[in-house]
Amino acid sequence: MDEQSRLIEHRDPDTHTMSSQTDTADMRKRVHVRTYGCQMNVYDSERMTEALDAAGYDACDNPADADLVVLNTCHIREKAAEKVYSELGRVRQMQADRRADGKDMQVVVAGCVAQAEGAEITRRAPVVDLVVGPQSYHRLPELVGEAGASGRAIVATDFEDDEKFAALPARPVPGPSVPGKAGKPTIRRAPSAFLTVQEGCDKFCTFCVVPYTRGAEFSRPVTEIVTEAKRLVSAGVRELTLLGQNVNAYHGLDETGTSATLAELLDRLSAIEGLARLRYTTSHPRDMDDALITAHRDNAKVMPYLHLPFQAGSDGILAAMNRKHTAQEYLDLVGRIRTARPDLALSTDIIVGFPGESDADFDATLAIVEDVVFAQAYSFKYSPRPGTPAASIDDQVPEEVKSDRLQRLQRTLFAQQTAFNASKVGATMPVLFERAGKHPGQLVGRSPWLQAVHADGPPSLIGEVVEVSIDGATTNSLSGRINAMPRAA
């Protein structure tokens, strides 16, 4: 359903840096990284790709051409493990084809299914050489080498230390290359990048596997994040989205050994020259403090968009989910945010059919949606996750009831998203152009409210923030005309 896979972009061979003396072109191998699930996995895949690049692997799009295949898996909903096993069946066939041609292929399962299933994966799928959990990615090249040398499968799923980020190679190696403007250096990275600042979760919502797969909450130190951000900006990044399962609970240490809040981190990052925009996701309503709310008002680089999951609208279900807030507290919070920044667009996550959810409980969810009015939303049928408290509640909601509720909810959300986009027709707004569109001469960018915006313009505008007059809207995007040249950074 909502699990998407994304191929990590192909590296431009011209921009490739040789990273070790033994890395002659013909000795380099190829890796295919396939990413499932959330933005944090996208970030992790990029970091794994970089670590492997330094160890002599070029990224490739086609797994059949790869000496190494990495599946970066997601465990949040549905029969995630089953999907991984069926994908591994296809990989085994590709490996057999390569062996018939005298080549080989190593296979790695990473991500949250790796963490949750561990050695079970190597038992059920002997094609797998390495199972590696999210806390061990800095050891990936070494573990791949070990598995290759020993001929035995390795399982590395300990929550060993907090050194992962520091031990991964410094970013960036060249990312997808886009043409630069005359006289300007070639932009090496897409203009918008993810940066994980916090990982893990101590909230233990009763439906969620994250506290088990990603472990306890850990915040990266401020200087480490600022250094990574500066490197990204110097490689052409203009917009950073700070990632964390509970990003607004960020509490990393600064240079003086004091714990910094997310508002303080945003303040530090906004001082980076050339960085135009800051976003962060995902926030928990309980950690939305006043300083963070007012950052949306006072800091021009912090975008007027907030992803703030409420999950369910009835206080009984919220309590059973262990969300630790009521419906009214959520609505009051939204009120405070909109007072500070009236044009802020809200997005959310909603679950229907949590165990015990009655028709009246579901109506309370719809009531919140109607009250808040969201610009965007992600809605899911509750899916029991083995090992989580909610999975063993007896009162599970029948599948047909879940489907019916999801359909009704999505109808409302869809209408709200369409109306939000339509409300921007006639407006002029700054758009950060990110890439070429499907049609010749077309560019695609993002509005401050995270809407995709299509406009005709030269590729030299990729990476620039440009004023666009909006003259069309659909449920998923806006279109417009460029009416001013780039603003100074």
Give me the residues that bind ligand SF4 (CB under 6 A), please.
201, 203-205, 208, 210-211, 245-246, 284
> Which of residues 212 and 477 has its CB atom nearest to ligand 5AD in the complex?
212
- DSSP run (H or E) holding 416: helix 399-422
Which secondary-structure segment (H or E) carries 444?
strand 442-446
3-state helix, strand, coil in the chain (%, to 5): 40, 20, 40
Partner from ligand 5AD, ligand SF4, none contacting 203, C-beta within 5 to 8 A by type: ligand SF4
User: What does the block give as tokens for 200?
Assistant: 């893990």
CB of 1 to ligand SF4, least distance (A): 17
Structure-token match 């963490």, residue found: 115
Minimum CB–partner distance for residue 344 and ligand 5AD (Å): 19
Q: Which one, 207 or 433, has the nearer CB to ligand SF4? A: 207
Residue 284 binds which entry of ligand 5AD, ligand SF4, none, CB below 5-8 Å type-dependent: ligand SF4
How far, in Å, are 89, 212, 350 from residue 410 at the CA level? 34, 29, 10
Does residue 351 belong to the site contacting ligand 5AD (CB under 6 A)? Answer: yes
Distances, alpha carbon 113 to alpha carbons 80, 81, 212, in Å: 7, 6, 11
Q: Which stretch binds ligand 5AD (CB under 6 A): 14-22, 247-255, 268-276, 381-389?
A: 381-389
Binding of residue 207 to ligand 5AD (CB under 6 A): yes
When the beta carbons of 207 and 420 are compared against ligand SF4, the nearer one is 207
Residues 207, 321 contacting (CB under 8 angstroms): yes
Q: Which does 385 bind (CB under 5 to 8 A by kind): ligand SF4, ligand 5AD, none?
A: ligand 5AD
Q: Does residue 36 interact with ligand 5AD by CB under 6 A? A: no
- Residue 379 dihedral angles phi and psi, to the nearest 5°: -125, 140
Choose from ligand 5AD, ligand SF4, none: what does 365 bind? Cβ within 5-8 Å by kind. none
276 binds, among ligand 5AD, ligand SF4, none (CB under 5 to 8 A by kind): none
326 sits near ligand 5AD (criterion: CB under 6 A): no
Give me the residue label for tokens 């999801």.
Answer: 406
Cβ contact 452:479 at 8 Å: no
Task: Report the nearest approach of ligand SF4 to the CB of residue 214 (Å).
Answer: 8
What are the helix (H) ranges across 38-180? 39-54, 80-100, 111-117, 119-124, 140-150, 164-167
Residue 311 is a binding residue for ligand 5AD (CB under 6 A) = yes
Give the span between the Cα atoms of 375 and 343, in whole angstroms.
Answer: 11
Binding piece for ligand 5AD, criterion CB under 6 A, among 273-281, 312-320, 380-388, 409-417: 380-388
Q: Closest CB to ligand 5AD belongs to which residue?
A: 349
Which of 313, 340, 337 has the alpha carbon at shortest distance from 325? 313
Q: Find the helix or strand (DSSP H, E) in which 130 lies.
A: strand 130-132
Choose, by CB under 6 A, the member of 77, 214, 238, 405 that binds ligand 5AD.
77
Check binding of 309 to ligand 5AD (CB under 6 A). yes
Give min distance, CB of 74 to ligand 5AD, in A.
Answer: 10
Nearer to ligand 5AD, 196 or 311 (CB): 311
**Least Å from the CB of residue 125 to ligand 5AD:** 24
What b/e sequence results for 447-468 when a residue is b if at least 16 CB atoms lie within 10 Å of its CB, and e otherwise?
Answer: bbbbbbbbbebeebbbbbbbbb
Choose among ligand SF4, ligand 5AD, none what residue 76 binds, the Cβ cut-off being 5 to 8 Å by kind: ligand 5AD
SS3 state of residue 427: coil
Q: How far apart are CA 228 and CA 195, in angstroms?
A: 8
CB 129 within 8 A of CB 154: yes
Residue 124 interacts, among ligand SF4, ligand 5AD, none and using kind-specific CB cut-offs from 5 to 8 Å, with none
351: partner contacted, choices ligand SF4, ligand 5AD, none (Cβ within 5-8 A by kind): ligand 5AD
* Closest distance of CB 195 from ligand 5AD, Å: 19
